[in-house]
Amino acid sequence: MIPSTFPTKDEIARLTARMLLEIGAVNFNTDEPYTLASGLPSPSYIDCRKLISFPRIRSTLMDFMTVEIMREAGFEAFDNIAGGETAGIPFAAMVAERLALPMTYVRKKPKGYGKNARIEGAMSEGQSVLLVEDLTTDGGSKLSFVDAIRDTGATCAATAVIFYYDIFPETEKTLGDHGVQLIHLCTWWDVLTEAKAQGTFSTETLDEVERFLNDPRAWQKARANK
């Protein structure tokens, strides 16, 4: 069912951050930083996969995402909703249900047998496809999914995510140069603001996280040299 109310983008960002904090999807550890997929350290880690286990929160967030998709891309902009393997699949299914559109998913690589396909489900030439994922950091991983969609003859000019890091300046340029619009619900800055308001973490922890967010490359370099 398509949502009938339209909160402001700022309110959506605040509430999304609050929900992520409430379920423990936000993790800050400045003493023993997490290791990102890049191998570099980070005092912050977000686990959007936890959302699927909280029915009220996941339903509200998918309403928010549907609203933002329609507001930023258009009400009749898409013919197909594609989830990226694996985290994007449940969210794509829920968005597709709300928009009454076909749902597909994109493998990270060909499955290696049968048709050796990367696209699962029915996607056809000429369709306008929205890629749905849980989050984006620097935007790089989205390009492979977008290219796989375009290889079918469909178009993919937008990706929607729950969480956008918004700390790497090259992200939107990377996506934009590839002809992809980024739609998101909240960022680390929204989470930091809400965490401060709630007093969820110590002041010392939040100050260190803020130093990282302001210059992640310098923070990582300093930590890597220790």
The CATH number assigned to the domain holding 131 equals 3.40.50.2020
d(CA 88, CA 145): 11
Amino acid 141: pLDDT = 84
Q: What is the DSSP-derived secondary structure letter of residue 169?
A: T
The pTM score is: 0.93
**Domain span including residue 163:** 9-224
Residue 9: pLDDT over 80: yes
pLDDT tens digits for range 152-209: 999 999 999 999 999 988 898 999 999 999 999 999 999 999 999 999 899 999 999 9
At 198 the pLDDT is: 93
Residues β-bridged to residue 152: none
| Calpha distance 52→14 (Å, rounded) | 19
In a domain, 3, yes or no: no
pLDDT tens figures, 70-125? 999 999 999 999 999 999 999 999 999 999 999 999 999 887 666 668 999 999 99
Alpha-carbon span 83 to 138, nearest angstrom: 18
Q: Is the pLDDT of residue 226 over 70?
A: no
For residue 116, what pLDDT is reported? Answer: 67
**How many domains does one find in the chain?**
1
In a domain, 161, yes or no: yes
Would the pLDDT of 5 be above 90? no
In a domain, 1, yes or no: no
| Structural domain contains residue 92 | yes
